[in-house]
Structure 1
Amino acid sequence: MDQISGLPEVILHDILARLPDRDSARTSVLSKAWRETWSTFPILSICSDQLFRSQDVTVDNYHSKIDKVIDYVGRKSLRLRDLGLAIKEFKLIIDYVDHKCMAHHVDLWMKMAIESCGQVLHLQLGLPGYYVGRYSPDRLYELPLSVIESKSLTKLVLMGGIRVDQEFLTHSIKLYSVRIIKLCNLLFAHEGIIERLISHCPLIEDLTVVDCAVYNPPISGIPQVFAFSLVESLFLHGLHKLKKAYVQGMREVYIDAQNLESLRLNLDPDTSFKLNLYSCTNLRWLCLWSLRNIDIGDKWFLELFSKFPFLESLELYYCSMFQRINISSAQLKVLKLSYCSNMEELNIDARNLLSFAYEGVGDNKPGISFQKSSNQLEVNSLFTGVDFPGLCNLRKFVENIKPQKIWASVSLFIRSSVLTEPEQGAFQVSSIPPTIKRLELQFSPDYEAFYFPFMNYLLSSCCPNSISFSFRSYVHDKAFIQFLYETLMGRKEGKCHCSSSNTKCWWHALKIVKVICTFKIDENADFKTMLDALPTCCADENIGFILEL
Structure 2
Amino acid sequence: MEFAPLQPVDRISNLPENVIADILMCLPTRDAASTSILSKQWRYKWVKLPHLIFDVTVWQEFKVDERTMRFFLFLYQVLLRHQGPITKFSLVIPRLKSCSHIDHVINFLSNYGVEEFIFEIYKGYRIPSSLFMYLQLKRLTLSACLINPPPAFKGFNRLVRMELCDVIIDAEVLQSLISSCLLLEQLLLDFRNEFDFLEIDAPMLRLFHLRRFFCSSICIKRSQHLATVRVTSRQHIMADEFNYGNCNFVGFFDSLPALHKLCMDFHFMLVWLIINIIM
Question: What TM-score does the superposition give when structure 2 sets the normalisation length?
Answer: 0.77
- Decide which of 253, 261, 265 is 2:231's aligned counterpart: 265
- Decide which of 55, 73, 76 is 1:74's aligned counterpart: 76
Matches within 5 A, 1:8-19: 8-9=17-18, 12-17=20-25, 19=26
Aligned partners of 2:57 and 2:204: how far apart in 1? 36
Is the 8 Å Cα contact of residues 265 and 289 (structure 1) preserved in structure 2? no
Decide whether aligned partners of structure 1 residues 22 and 152 sit closer, same or farther in structure 2, where only a CA change above 3 A counts. Answer: closer
Q: CA deviation at 1:183?
A: 0.7
What does residue 45 of structure 1 align with? 53
Decide whether aligned partners of structure 1 residues 70 and 320 sit closer, same or farther in structure 2, where only a CA change above 3 A counts. Answer: same
Is the 8 Å Cα contact of residues 149 and 174 (structure 1) preserved in structure 2? no
Identity level (%): 15
Structure 1 unpaired stretches of 5+: 128-139, 214-229, 292-315, 322-340, 343-549
Decide whether aligned partners of structure 1 residues 93 and 254 sit closer, same or farther in structure 2, where only a CA change above 3 A counts. Answer: same
What does residue 173 of structure 1 align with? 154
What does residue 452 of structure 1 align with? none
Q: Secondary structure at the match of 1:235?
A: strand
Aligned partners of 1:231 and 1:266: how far apart in 2? 18
- Decide which of 154, 163, 185 is 1:182's aligned counterpart: 163
Decide whether aligned partners of structure 1 residues 21 and 234 sit closer, same or farther in structure 2, where only a CA change above 3 A counts. Answer: farther
Is the 8 Å Cα contact of residues 150 and 174 (structure 1) preserved in structure 2? no
Aligned partners of 1:34 and 1:280: how far apart in 2? 55
Is the 8 Å Cα contact of residues 148 and 175 (structure 1) preserved in structure 2? yes
Is the 8 Å Cα contact of residues 211 and 231 (structure 1) preserved in structure 2? no
Aligned partners of 2:271 and 2:111: how far apart in 1? 46
- Decide which of 111, 126, 129 is 1:145's aligned counterpart: 129
Is the 8 Å Cα contact of residues 158 and 184 (structure 1) preserved in structure 2? yes
- Decide which of 152, 156, 181 is 1:201's aligned counterpart: 181
**RMSD across aligned positions (CA):** 3.2
Q: CA deviation at 1:200?
A: 0.6
Aligned partners of 2:186 and 2:13: how far apart in 1? 35
Matches within 5 A, 1:487-498: none
Question: What TM-score does the superposition give when structure 1 sets the normalisation length?
Answer: 0.41
Structure 2 unpaired stretches of 5+: 1-8, 234-241
Q: CA deviation at 1:74?
A: 0.8
Q: Secondary structure at the match of 2:154?
A: coil
Matches within 5 A, 1:381-530: none
What does residue 158 of structure 1 align with? 142
Q: CA deviation at 1:34?
A: 4.4
Q: Secondary structure at the match of 1:67?
A: helix
Decide whether aligned partners of structure 1 residues 269 and 20 sit closer, same or farther in structure 2, where only a CA change above 3 A counts. Answer: farther
Aligned partners of 2:227 and 2:37: how far apart in 1? 43
Runs of 4+ displaced beyond 4 Å: 288-291, 316-319
- Decide which of 204, 222, 244 is 2:207's aligned counterpart: 244
Q: CA deviation at 1:152?
A: 0.6
- Structure 2 counterpart of 1:260, which letter? L
Is the 8 Å Cα contact of residues 42 and 88 (structure 1) preserved in structure 2? yes
- Structure 2 counterpart of 1:164, which letter? I
Q: CA deviation at 1:179?
A: 0.7
Aligned partners of 2:152 and 2:186: how far apart in 1? 23
Aligned partners of 2:85 and 2:150: how far apart in 1? 30
Aligned partners of 1:244 and 1:93: how far apart in 2? 24
- Structure 2 counterpart of 1:320, which letter? L
Aligned partners of 2:189 and 2:107: how far apart in 1? 25
Q: CA deviation at 1:234?
A: 2.8
- Structure 1 counterpart of 2:28, which letter? D
- Decide which of 9, 15, 19 is 1:6's aligned counterpart: 15
Q: Secondary structure at the match of 1:196?
A: helix
Aligned partners of 1:260 and 1:24: how far apart in 2? 41
Aligned partners of 1:96 and 1:258: how far apart in 2? 41
Decide whether aligned partners of structure 1 residues 30 and 232 sit closer, same or farther in structure 2, where only a CA change above 3 A counts. Answer: farther
Q: CA deviation at 1:241?
A: 2.0
Name which structure has the greater RCO, CA cutoff 8 Å, separation 6+.
Answer: 2
Matches within 5 A, 1:28-177: 28=35, 31-32=38-39, 33-52=41-60, 57=64, 61=65, 64-80=66-82, 83=83, 85-99=84-98, 102=99, 104-127=100-123, 140-160=124-144, 162-165=145-148, 168=149, 170-177=151-158
Q: CA deviation at 1:70?
A: 0.8
Q: CA deviation at 1:290?
A: 5.7
Is the 8 Å Cα contact of residues 51 and 69 (structure 1) preserved in structure 2? yes
Aligned residues: 252
Q: Secondary structure at the match of 1:158?
A: strand
Is the 8 Å Cα contact of residues 289 and 319 (structure 1) preserved in structure 2? no
Aligned partners of 1:71 and 1:201: how far apart in 2? 35
Deviations 1:470-518 (A, max 9, x none): xxxxxxxxxxxxxxxxxxxxxxxxxxxxxxxxxxxxxxxxxxxxxxxxx
Is the 8 Å Cα contact of residues 187 and 207 (structure 2) preserved in structure 1? yes
What does residue 131 of structure 1 align with? none
Is the 8 Å Cα contact of residues 181 and 207 (structure 1) preserved in structure 2? yes
- Structure 2 counterpart of 1:21, which letter? P
- Decide which of 218, 235, 240 is 1:253's aligned counterpart: 218
Aligned partners of 1:204 and 1:235: how far apart in 2? 15
Q: CA deviation at 1:288?
A: 5.2
Is the 8 Å Cα contact of residues 233 and 253 (structure 1) preserved in structure 2? yes
What does residue 415 of structure 1 align with? none
Q: CA deviation at 1:318?
A: 4.5
What does residue 284 of structure 1 align with? 261
Larger radius of gyration: 1
Is the 8 Å Cα contact of residues 206 and 242 (structure 1) preserved in structure 2? yes
Matches within 5 A, 1:255-334: 255-256=220-221, 257-266=223-232, 268=242, 270-275=244-249, 276-277=252-253, 278-287=255-264, 316=269, 318=271, 320=273
Q: CA deviation at 1:235?
A: 1.6
Aligned partners of 2:190 and 2:164: how far apart in 1? 6
Is the 8 Å Cα contact of residues 27 and 34 (structure 1) preserved in structure 2? no
Decide whether aligned partners of structure 1 residues 41 and 176 sit closer, same or farther in structure 2, where only a CA change above 3 A counts. Answer: same
Decide whether aligned partners of structure 1 residues 70 and 115 sit closer, same or farther in structure 2, where only a CA change above 3 A counts. Answer: same
